[in-house]
Amino acid sequence: MTTPWDANAYDSRHAYVFRFGASLVSDLNPRPGEKILDLGCGTGHLTNEIAKAGASVLGVDKSVEMIDQARTNYPQLRFVVADAAKYRPRERFDAVFSNAALHWMRPPGAVAESISRVLKPGGRLVAELGGSGNAASILAITKRNPWYFPGIGEYASLLEQHGIEVVQAMLFERPTPVEGENGLRDWLGMFYKPPLHDDVIAAAEKKLRPILFRDGVWYIDYRRLRIVAKRV
């Protein structure tokens, strides 16, 4: 059984996820009439930004709670609950877009296979995910990494094995502010599934305060992997 998502808290206290994704929509440069798949769309905010450009967009997420919230937020848009690793729609897309989601999806090879299958030849993948070294200070303390944070070489090679050629890749630091005195605690509570024990959370707060808490704000030590790639 998968742990449910708190889609309300995601929208209210973790809005930085889609705020930081806005520049990825610019990289996608959606055009009127294009068919675009938003893979791991969460509560649908970036799906809506893509739709505003006149593209025909479908949002897909494995979480029922996220898709329920996305449908409430944007009843005029199309959303589907599906596991990316097994996703086999009949339609083909001009582009696949994915923000802060691919590191959740497993196994990565099956996900790359699905992306390859849904893209038209020449179609593009524009994606950002946690890259190698993402949240390293946190992982060092919790000693649990349920995510997939690849480096440029590893991910480019994985995509190439599935007929997708990387044309741009960037791995960069983006310390990301999270709201409030309880920001780190909230982040750990929101994203660790299954949840961490309270004593691990308390230890993380204590040890990471000198590193991640500056001027009253917690910064998660994000390292992003941003990819633009083309289906051969």
CA dihedral sign, ordered 85, 75, 92, 26: negative
Q: Does 226 bind ligand BEZ (CB under 6 A)?
A: no
Q: Does 103 bind ligand BEZ (CB under 6 A)?
A: yes
- Contact code string over 146-185 relative to ligand BEZ, x by CB under 6 A: -x--------------------------------------
With 0-12 / 13-18 / 19 or more C-beta atoms within 10 angstroms meaning exposed / middle / buried, residue 70 is: buried
Q: How would you classify residue 216: left for phi > 0, otherwise alpha for psi between -120 and 50, otherwise beta? A: left
Helix (H, G, I), strand (E, B) or coil at 17: helix
Q: How many residues bind ligand BEZ (CB under 6 A)?
A: 8
List Cβ neighbours of 11 (8 Å cut-off, separation of 6 or more). Answer: 43, 45, 69, 73
Q: Which is nearer to ligand BEZ, 89 or 219 (CB)?
A: 219
Q: Does 20 bind ligand BEZ (CB under 6 A)?
A: no
- Contact code string over 104-143 relative to ligand BEZ, x by CB under 6 A: --------------------------x---xx--------
- Contact code string over 191-210 relative to ligand BEZ, x by CB under 6 A: x-------------------
Evaluate whether 128 touches 98 at the Cβ level (below 8 Å). Answer: yes
Q: Does 16 bind ligand BEZ (CB under 6 A)?
A: no
Give 197-206 contacts, CB < 8 A, sequence gap 24+.
200/141, 200/142, 203/141, 204/138, 204/141, 204/142
Q: Minimum distance between the CB of residue 131 and ligand BEZ, rounded to whole angstroms?
A: 8
Q: Which is nearer to ligand BEZ, 63 or 116 (CB)?
A: 63
Q: List residues near ligand BEZ by CB under 6 A.
A: 100, 103, 130, 134-135, 147, 191, 222
